[in-house]
Amino acid sequence: MRIRTIILASPIVLLLLFALAFAVSLPFFGERREQLVMASTADPEILNPILSTTAPAGIIQSFVFDGLMRLDENAEVEPALAERFELTQTSRLYFASPQQAAAAARAIEAHRVAWEELGLEAITVEADRVELALTMPGTGYREALFEWLGPIEPVPFQRWQVRIPPDTQWQEEPATVDRVLAWLEKVQAAAPEKPRVIYGWKNTSGSMEIYTIGADGRFMDRLQTELAEAFGTKVTPAEASVAPAPATPARVAATPPASVSTTAPATAPAAAPAAGPGPGMQLSTAGPLRIEFDRSWPAQDEPLIAFYLRKGVRWHDDKPFTSADARYTYEALMFERNASPRRADFEVIKHVQTPDEYTFLVRYKEPYSPCLYSWGMDIIPRHLLAGEPSLRELSAANDFNKFPVGTGPYKMERWATNQYISLVRNDDYWEGRPHLPRIVYRVIPDPTVSQMEFQTGGFDYAGIEPHQEERYRKDPRYQIFEGPSNSYNYIGWNLQSPLFRDKRVRKALAHAINTEAIIEHVMYGNGRPATGPYSPVTPWWNPDVEPFGYDPEKARAMLAEAGWKDRDGDGILDKDGQPFRFTLILNNGVPVRKDIAVLTQQYLKRIGIAVEVIEYEWAVFIKQYIDARNFDACVLGWSMSFDQDLYQIWHSSQVAVPGSLNFVSYSNPEVDQLIEKARTEFNLEKVEEYTHRISEMIYDDQPYCFLFYPQSLAAMPKGLYTVKRPGKDGQWIEEPIRRTKLGFTVYQRWWTREFVEAHEQPTLTPGVQP
């Protein structure tokens, strides 16, 4: 009975085969090579620093590439590919006439003794302008300087935004930019007032900046009309509402322009206002093309960073690294067809120059103090990429986006899509040879499975969830690393909602939500109460702000004071017949946020507020609710960068910008000013002063219920790795792995197994050349 035997035996044979497979491979399980294995839940998809947006890409790129600068363990900027850098500034003051300019120059000359204090090095006069060479960028020099000038007032330097709706033909014809520029010149020549247009260019798609000196509203209004006419048939406003593009003009109108309504005059201002913010002052709303006054300054300040690049650095393919690569990186960031998500930090750049192979000069349009941080940007090799139509559409033979070539401590070895990426050490790394021969990055999509895989030794270190901490601490096999992270969790109140417009109500809510209990039970104690928009790992955080504290009685009293009482006895507070009821929204898939929402629901129920919790999928959550300002309250968190700039999140000018990050519509003129000061100030002490004040004010306003700064946790098998890194004084430092402000990965390129032998130690080549 052959058939019968086959049929009955086949399942048994199969199972035996699997058993055999298991038995054969069993002796090999658990054997590990000398390498560092990491894991993540997602594949990086693309490894091009210009294009990538995912966290896994960032980690791998940090091994493959270097920036001109980088952050050291204290989160301070230190030179990397650039050996050193210099910051200077050229400032220009414009005057009504050459005579006035000469008088101003004389006044400044008269105070030569005080120049050094201001960082002023030299002045030159040319026609009606005075040019200052400053050793320190920023606007700090102005106060003293204007005192010297006395009654001689400079003409304001202004910026205007030309807004061209995205659905005009404009985008398809880049040549039109030139047409507009030609236009500017023509209109300028014809204008009776002879205003001076300094320059104008296409900034991002559909938007252009015009810088002028002393142009008044009438001139700009005319310019706008003529510009719109020049576009003529090209402007097709009727189709605007048909296109489903998210940023249609209709949508702009739908967002109540909170700040505009208070400041925008219906007619053109007779003269542009003096220094100080005046966002959103529009001249006319007629026509789809608009010129909007952006802002003005009493002087034109243009900082300059001079990077002096390290000599002898080589790309992984052995070609030398030069300033042309740095320049190419900037050009790639700005090239429209690359549509780089990292572009924003570089838009304030006026131009870059490369006087020689190892000098890279960056000129800024205005003082922007976080600019140094932005040069942590990974530098990409020009010789491999120049000539491509765009980085998004590389020619078939070029696999740079999947197999990047950098200058970093590790080189790409293999990318097995959605399984792992392996990197091998770069023996010629400019800082010295890394110790571990290989770094592997695994992809395990399910976090729970990843946890199990970590416990079987499938990878070497893992971020762990708060609730797992106790188990790992008890387990003698593991060591735990912890430290505050540069982030915070919060509940955002939509300040456009009548419920939350009253500051007393928001403060009452802060007392009603038991932050301490949330930290204790959701984070298992791994966090500290948040007291503002900066994390304690940065110097910007204000240590003197005290958290509100849990006090439901006080909350009830404050709500009663604000008019919220339970008049109809249904257990829910009401005011003017309206019950205090709202929805709290969050994105799905983040257990911590879900727990926060559920606990908040309970805490508020206790003081008579009915909360409905709704979870949305992330993209829907952002697009339909957050971006559209279509929510009452939301649970979210910010992961911050180390710079001090809060413009995008808290500046009132962002309220009206569709899709911007000030989605709670926070507006406080004093905070606006401080934010602007903080982002133009290069003196760190002063920046701290501003940011501490900002923290205090925002915390007192309670646009968010600031919850906590989470403590981040990671586990690693005991005694596996140490750090052996070059110190600043040229000595090798050997130390256990510890957590720094940047997390504990900051010296990962210098990780070493304990058993690395003496002769394998790389010779240190401090500074320049190996």
Partner 1 sequence: MMTFVLRRLLVSIPILFGITVVSFLIVHLAPGTPYPGLELNPKVSPEIRRLMEQTYHFDKPLIARYGLIMKDMFTGQIRSFQDNERVLVKIGRRLPATISLNIVATILTMAGAIPLGIYAARHRGTWRDQGVTVLSFMGIALPSFWVAYMLLMLFVGKMGIPVVGLRTFGVEMPFGVGLMDRLWHLFLPAVIFAIGGIAAQSRYMRGSMADAMVQDFVRTARAKGLSDEAVVYKHALRNALLPMVTIFGLLLPSLLGGAVIIETIFAYPGIGRLGFEAVMARDYPTIMTLNTIAAILVLLGNLVADVLYAVVDPRIRYE
Partner 2 sequence: MTSAPTKPDVTGPELQTTEPYSPWRDFRKRFVRNKPAISAFWILVALAAIALAAVTMGGTGAYWPYDPVNVEPPAKLQPPTWSHPLGTDNLGRDVFARMIHGTPISLTVGLIAVAVSVTIGILIGSLAGYFGGVVDNILMRFVDMMMCFPTFFLILTVVALLKPSIYNIIIVIGLTSWTGTARFVRAEFLTLRQRDFVMAAVAGGLGNGRIIFRHILPNALAPVAVSAVLGIAGAILTEASLSFLGFGVPPPAPTWGNILADGKVYILDAWWLILFPGMAIFITTLSFYLVGEGMREALDPRLRVD
Chain contacts with partner 2 (rule: CB under 8 A): 447-448, 451-452, 455, 465, 467-468, 471, 517, 520-522, 588-589, 591, 594-595, 597-599, 601-602, 613-617, 619-620, 624
Q: Which tokens sit at 373?
A: 């941080």
> How many angstroms separate the CA atoms of 534 and 389, rounded?
41
Report, in Å, the least distance between residue 11 CB and partner 1. Answer: 4
Report, in Å, the least distance between residue 3 CB and partner 1. Answer: 5
For 282, residues 6+ apart whose C-beta sits below 8 A from its C-beta are 260, 264, 290, 292, 293
Q: What is the DSSP string of 271-327?
A: S---SEEEEEEES---SS-EEEEEEEESSEEEEEEEEEEPTT-B-TTSPBP-HHHHH
> How many angstroms separate the CA atoms of 656 and 446, rounded?
39
Q: Is residue 752 within the footprint of partner 1 (CB under 8 A)? A: no
DSSP SS3 for 354: strand
> How many angstroms separate the CA atoms of 267 and 13, rounded?
88
- Residue numbers 479-538 binding partner 1 by CB under 8 A: none
Among 613, 614, 622, 697, the residue binding partner 1 under the rule CB under 8 A is 622
Q: Which of 291, 555 has the CB closer to partner 1?
A: 291
Report, in Å, the least distance between residue 117 CB and partner 1. Answer: 35
Q: Which of 266, 619 has the CB closer to partner 1?
A: 619
> How many angstroms separate the CA atoms of 526 and 532, rounded?
18
Q: Which of 156, 200 has the CB closer to partner 1?
A: 200
DSSP SS3 for 203: coil
- Residue numbers 206-225 binding partner 1 by CB under 8 A: 206-207
Among partner 1, partner 2, none, what binds residue 53 when CB lies within 5 to 8 Å by partner kind? partner 1
- Residue numbers 420-439 binding partner 1 by CB under 8 A: 420
> How many angstroms separate the CA atoms of 320 and 81, rounded?
12
> How many angstroms separate the CA atoms of 340 and 51, rounded?
5
Q: Do 526 and 713 form a contact (C-beta atoms < 8 A)?
A: yes
- Residue numbers 155-184 binding partner 1 by CB under 8 A: 166-167, 171
Backbone CA torsion sign across 420, 423, 424, 425: negative
Report, in Å, the least distance between residue 660 CB and partner 1. Answer: 6
Q: Is residue 7 within the footprint of partner 1 (CB under 8 A)? A: yes
Q: Which of 313, 634 has the CB closer to partner 1?
A: 634
Q: Do 216 and 274 form a contact (C-beta atoms < 8 A)?
A: no
Among 113, 122, 238, 619, the residue binding partner 1 under the rule CB under 8 A is 619
Q: Which of 74, 418 has the CB closer to partner 1?
A: 418
Q: Is residue 240 within the footprint of partner 1 (CB under 8 A)? A: no
Q: Are strands 578-579 and 732-736 parallel, antiparallel or unpaired?
A: unpaired
Bridge-partner residues for 67, per DSSP?
378
Report, in Å, the least distance between residue 471 CB and partner 2. Answer: 6
Q: Which of 306, 590 has the CB closer to partner 2?
A: 590
Report, in Å, the least distance between residue 411 CB and partner 2. Answer: 36
Q: Do 2 and 405 form a contact (C-beta atoms < 8 A)?
A: no
Q: Which of 226, 615 has the CB closer to partner 2?
A: 615
Q: Is residue 113 within the footprint of partner 1 (CB under 8 A)? A: no
Among partner 2, partner 1, none, what binds residue 20 when CB lies within 5 to 8 Å by partner kind? partner 1
Place of tokens 């946890």: 451
Q: Is residue 721 within the footprint of partner 1 (CB under 8 A)? A: no
Per-residue mark of binding to partner 1, 135-154 (x: CB under 8 A): --------------------
Strands (E), 374-530: 410-416, 420-425, 438-443, 462-463, 478-484, 487-493, 527-529
Report, in Å, the least distance between residue 452 CB and partner 2. Answer: 7
Q: Is residue 236 within the footprint of partner 1 (CB under 8 A)? A: no
Report, in Å, the least distance between residue 467 CB and partner 2. Answer: 6
For 386, residues 6+ apart whose C-beta sits below 8 A from its C-beta are 328
Report, in Å, the least distance between residue 59 CB and partner 1. Answer: 14
DSSP SS3 for 743: strand
DSSP SS3 for 171: helix
- Residue numbers 328-367 binding partner 1 by CB under 8 A: 336-337, 339-345, 347
